[in-house]
Structure 1
Amino acid sequence: MTKFINSPFVKEVSKITFRLFAHGWDERNGGNVSYRIMPEELADYEDVKKIKRNIPIAFDGKNLAGMYFLVTATGRYFKNIIDFPERDLGLVRIAEDGKSVDLMWGYNDGAKPTSEFPTHLMGHQERLKHDPKQRVVMHCHPTNLIAMTFTQKLDEKELTRIFWKMQTESLVVFPEGVGIIPWMVPGTIDIGKATASKLANYRSVIWPHHGIFGTGETIDEAFGLIETIEKAAQIWTIIQMQGGKIEQTITDQGLKDLADSFGVTPHEGYLN
């Protein structure tokens, strides 16, 4: 039987967490990722069949009972996961009571899931209502995006329109726009509920002065969503460094034509 450490799931998360670190979006122990794994995808891995230990969580995830998630550990550095995946990652199964998880693999030095795991679970729970293929929640700290939350109004329509006009790809990648919550203390049930409520309408949610939550059906989709938003924020930042005067831009009609061409539907009311 193949060892789970050699699975594509561990390799994907190890690779993407290192790239998030390399981008400068996950300093120290910042950031977290959860990846929903289907039971049938675990059939060939003998070392995930027995429960290693049970870990309480500060959330009632009874609606997700029996689901498996590969989750980054709390307090760990993303730069190290690629070298120590069995220490800094864990495969957990939501227990029947919903208030704990069964550790099936990983966390081999006694670690626990990220402190944001309840927020991840609330996010998965909400996105699954809208997309049954939802599998990934990714949180990181993109530099230019965070900077914009200090200087721009925290208005979903206004920020979305800025991002859409910064590059042709933005509208195509996130036609629904970006969600925003007020600044809140991380690692709490309250911030999890606020984030999940936004994920009913958006696949990404900005945490002002902190970072972003991105979701998707695959690791690449969630990463690419965040990457595109941060690229738009970077372009806006460079424009400000060049004096901030915009001589030409993508018009609203251009955005409508773009949406028609790519078969996407922009957030209602965001285009004039």
Structure 2
Amino acid sequence: MIRKLSGKVRRFWASLALLSVEMVLLAAVFLVSLTVFGYMVRRVFVLQNNDFDQQVFDYLGGWVTPGLNRFMQAVTFLGTHRFLIPANLSLIAWFLFVRPHKWYSIKVPAIALSSLLLMSLLKNLFGRSRPLDPLLEPARGLSFPSGHALMSMTFYGLLIYITYHSVKNPRLRWPIIAFLGLLILTISFSRIYLRVHYTSDVLAGLALGALWVVLALKLIRRIEKQGKRTLGPIVGHGPAPTMGTGPVPNAPSEPM
């Protein structure tokens, strides 16, 4: 009995320590993202300093090749609405019918739609024009912040969140998270390479996307906790679906 109680106490303190680390990391992401976005807004619209944007374009001009052009076009497609709309719908269907977890099926459209609305509002608020000399094809719409960077950060960032809490095998979990993080950065970089966004647009989009996904998950998590008792039978909240092999008894719980 004493040994079992001692084991439970150790597991409790281990889980509490892990949760504290997660909260510190989330707070750091929030503060860094807010700082980067504020700095970009000040630099571009208050100081009207675009020297860095042009310097990046000039540097990348020496790396342009037909093969790299095709690669960047393929990568940038993964951040377009033509890909993200069916990807979001597929993810919703997955959590409704394949591995039921209806709170995840709520989080996916909530974050996608709110991110789209936020992007549209800010683009029209700042009204920055696109670069005048795109590498291949011109892009429509306004430039700041980058929609590709913002929407990629929120969608693939949500996948990182789901992977962290759902994939129990660490040998599978961390490579997936690393791949998704690299994909976010590559999609964002492709917009600069193709000269359809300034570097400041992309950095602002990444920062705003990270900021928004943290806030949205925090808000949805709070609604989830408050509605468990009254909406539980309707929403069908249950444990997060497990992916990967082998149960992990001390798997991290959702901090948000």
Structure that is richer in helix per residue:
2
Q: Work out which of the two has the higher radius of gyration on C-alpha atoms and give 1 or 2.
A: 2
Q: TM-score, normalised to structure 2's length?
A: 0.25
- Kindly indicate whether structure 1 or structure 2 has the higher relative contact order, using CA contacts under 8 Å at least 6 residues apart: 2
Q: TM-score, normalised to structure 1's length?
A: 0.24
